[in-house]
């Protein structure tokens, strides 16, 4: 049984390494679209705490007056394959109706879990005796009908919805115990009125576009991006190397800052520089390999063989190893680099969320164990630097 509270209720969120579920609600569909085998509740019990959700409204066979009802559920499709149209519809399983943005997919899958089921599973998990000290974070991105999603989250989660506000990055685990955090990306959060934002936590990616961490901002701020070329017909090992290379590059930019060329009007290119990510920002690493033309599970199984899973922890550690001198200068003055007790603080400089496909207990345990093993490894690296020894 994985409980992050066992790491210490005093731990801040940005001091732990947790499992994230990529396209968490896609438990059905074709091999090139399905990303998970377990439902949300099962994933949570396996050890997932961060869920990536894309929600849209799809037609059902149920009637509402002269109209068909829609069902809010997870989907997985490229934006170019996602058609949206406004329709007067009722919502299946939920009181009320309005003009709904109904979706049709030309590719991908609309066979994911319903939002109602996912919210009920999340609520049941944090309400259970075994996991009442735990938390879940539901990140909503690339959705439609944001106002309706917010309403459904408030209505179904009730007292289990996190409403504490504040900077989530530095919240302690005890502050989040027994709660479900509903986090909206900026485009969705902006569509809500002030009263509709009650219980909705803003979440922002500092990497896309580059932005600096602001400790005064309420919500969750993270640094990271996923994805490999979906049309690339590389071998499984080549796809894994492509992902590892991209993740290393992203983590390097988190340490050293990033230069971006932006195409301005009249074909002028403007370059601007973003500083290194703050250690207080949550880091996100993807151990996935997307693609439209072959089985996601087959590629994922290859990434998690005994030999290849070592690549996850090595990639996770690579940024720290490569830029340990910079991190030494950036560490707080009160951190003793020669002390192995500094491992928890050092992890603030590492990816805190590892996003995976086909989450299960074995994968979750491997990532959870980074909380202990990696702390010793990171402390050993900084200890070697402090003593002028070669970094192994």
The CATH number covering residue 376 comes to 3.20.20.190
* Whether 381 contacts 316, CB under 8 Å: no
Burial (CB < 10 A; 0-12, 13-18, 19+), residue 174, is middle
Residue 355 within a domain: yes
* Whether 154 contacts 119, CB under 8 Å: no
pLDDT of residue 58: 87
Q: How many residues does the chain have?
A: 392
Residue 249 within a domain: yes
Instruction: Quote the domain boundaries for residue 176.
Output: 4-55+106-386
**CA nearest to 363, candidates 287, 299, 250, 291:** 287
Mean pLDDT of the chain, nearest integer: 77
pLDDT of residue 139: 98
* Whether 327 contacts 384, CB under 8 Å: no
Name the DSSP class of 203. Answer: E
Q: pLDDT digits over 132-141, tens only?
A: 999 999 999 9
* Whether 217 contacts 186, CB under 8 Å: no
Give whole-number Cα distances, 381 to 319, 338, 343, in Å: 12, 9, 10
Which of 18-27, 104-113, 276-285, 330-339 has the least mean pLDDT? 330-339
Count structural domains, the chain: 1
> Which residues does 372 contact at the CB level (< 8 Å), separation at least 6?
none
> Which residues does 319 contact at the CB level (< 8 Å), separation at least 6?
248, 251, 252, 254, 255, 349, 350
* Whether 184 contacts 203, CB under 8 Å: yes
**CA nearest to 64, candidates 96, 27, 35, 37:** 96
Q: Is the pLDDT of residue 350 over 50?
A: yes
Residue 86 within a domain: no
Q: Would residue 166 be called left, alpha or beta, if left means φ above 0 and alpha means ψ between -120 and 50 degrees?
A: left
Give whole-number Cα distances, 273 to 255, 259, 261, in Å: 13, 5, 9
Q: Is the pLDDT of residue 271 over 80?
A: no
Spatial distance between the Cα atoms of 350 and 308, rounded to a whole number of angstroms: 20
* Whether 91 contacts 67, CB under 8 Å: no
Which of 220-224, 332-336, 352-356 has the least mean pLDDT? 332-336
pLDDT of residue 224: 80
pLDDT of residue 83: 76
Name the DSSP class of 168. Answer: G
Q: pLDDT digits over 285-330, tens only?
A: 887 655 444 556 666 666 666 666 666 666 655 555 544 554 555 5
Mean local confidence (pLDDT), 256-267: 55
* Whether 41 contacts 25, CB under 8 Å: no
pLDDT of residue 135: 98
Residue 66 within a domain: no
Which of 24-38, 189-203, 269-283 has the least mean pLDDT? 269-283
Write out the two tokens for 349. Answer: 């400089």
> Which residues does 88 contact at the CB level (< 8 Å), separation at least 6?
67, 97, 99, 100
Q: What's the pTM?
A: 0.82
pLDDT of residue 67: 59
Residue 289 within a domain: yes
Residue 95 within a domain: no
More confident residue, 193 or 226: 193
Q: Please, which residues bridge with residue 258 across strands?
A: 274
Q: Is the pLDDT of residue 5 over 50?
A: yes
Spatial distance between the Cα atoms of 73 and 273, rounded to a whole number of angstroms: 39
Residue 229 within a domain: yes
Q: Is the pLDDT of residue 346 over 60?
A: no
Cα angle 151, 156, 160; round to 5: 110
Residue 41 within a domain: yes
pLDDT of residue 36: 84
């Amino acid at each position: 049984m994985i409980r992050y509270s066992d790491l210490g209720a005093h731990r801040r969120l940005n001091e732990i390494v947790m499992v994230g579920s990529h396209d968490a609600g896609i438990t059905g569909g074709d091999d090139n679209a399905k990303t998970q085998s377990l439902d949300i509740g099962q994933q949570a019990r396996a050890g997932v705490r961060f869920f990536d959700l894309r929600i849209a409204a799809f037609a059902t066979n149920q009637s509402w007056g002269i109209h068909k009802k829609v069902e809010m559920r997870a989907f997985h499709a490229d934006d170019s394959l996602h058609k949206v149209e406004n329709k007067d519809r009722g919502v299946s399983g939920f009181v009320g109706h309005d003009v709904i943005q109904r979706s049709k997919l030309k590719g991908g899958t609309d066979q994911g879990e319903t939002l109602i089921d996912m919210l009920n599973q999340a609520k049941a998990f944090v309400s259970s005796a075994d996991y009442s000290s735990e938390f879940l974070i539901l990140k909503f991105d690339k959705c439609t009908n944001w106002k309706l999603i917010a309403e459904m989250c408030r209505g179904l989660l009730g007292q289990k919805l996190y409403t504490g506000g504040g900077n989530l990055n530095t919240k302690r685990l005890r502050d989040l115990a027994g709660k479900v955090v509903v986090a909206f990306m900026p485009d969705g959060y902006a569509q809500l009125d002030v009263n509709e934002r009650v219980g909705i936590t803003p979440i922002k990616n500092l990497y896309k576009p580059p932005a600096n961490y602001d400790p005064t901002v309420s919500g969750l701020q993270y640094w990271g991006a996923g994805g490999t070329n979906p049309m690339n017909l590389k071998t499984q090992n080549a796809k894994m190397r492509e992902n590892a290379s991209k993740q290393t590059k992203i983590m390097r930019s988190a340490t050293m800052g990033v230069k971006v060329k932006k195409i301005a009007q009249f074909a002028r290119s403007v370059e601007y520089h973003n500083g290194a990510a703050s250690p207080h920002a949550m880091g996100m690493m993807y151990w996935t390999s997307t693609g439209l033309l072959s089985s996601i599970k087959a590629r994922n199984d290859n990434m998690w063989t005994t030999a290849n899973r070592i690549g996850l922890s090595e990639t996770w550690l690579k940024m720290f190893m490569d830029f340990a001198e910079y991190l030494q200068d950036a560490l707080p003055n009160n951190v003793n680099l020669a002390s192995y007790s500094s491992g928890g603080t050092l992890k603030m400089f590492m990816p805190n969320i590892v996003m995976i496909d086909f989450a299960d207990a074995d994968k979750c345990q491997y990532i959870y164990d980074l909380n202990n093993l990696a702390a010793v490894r990171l402390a050993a690296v900084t200890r070697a630097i402090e003593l002028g020894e070669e970094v192994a």
